[in-house]
Amino acid sequence: QVQLVESGGGLVQPGGSLRLACAASGTIFSRYSMAWYRQAPGKQRELVARITSYGVLNYANSVKGRFTISRDNAKNTVYLQMNSLRSEDTAVYYCNMNMPGYDYWGQGTQVTVSS
């Protein structure tokens, strides 16, 4: 059974940094695209960043130049380095594994950007 466990969320001041991690188990991690989504209160869940099994990256326009997604296939882990954080980045961040015909999700980790 596939499991995704996020870590690294928390409270940070505007302009600060956080690194999220998502550890996967129960599947061959390197075969699949991984992504980070986020959902702010009262808003729809949105894609933040994605990295394919080949290492192709794409980012939401709102985070380009500030966030970096990466993966370590040896550790079955995907990361999201978040720099220059803004109050509008406050949300629950979810890890996603995209398999043919199915998506797996982590439980989410809260990121709050506030002074």
pLDDT one-digit tens code per residue, 60-107: 999 999 999 999 999 999 999 999 999 999 999 999 999 888 999 999
In angstroms, the CA 113 to CA 14 distance is: 6
Angle CA 73–78–82, to nearest 5 = 145
Question: For residues 111 and 89, is the Cβ–Cβ distance under 8 A?
Answer: yes
Tell me the pLDDT band of 39, cut-offs 50, 70 and 90.
very high
Share of the chain above pLDDT 90, in %: 90
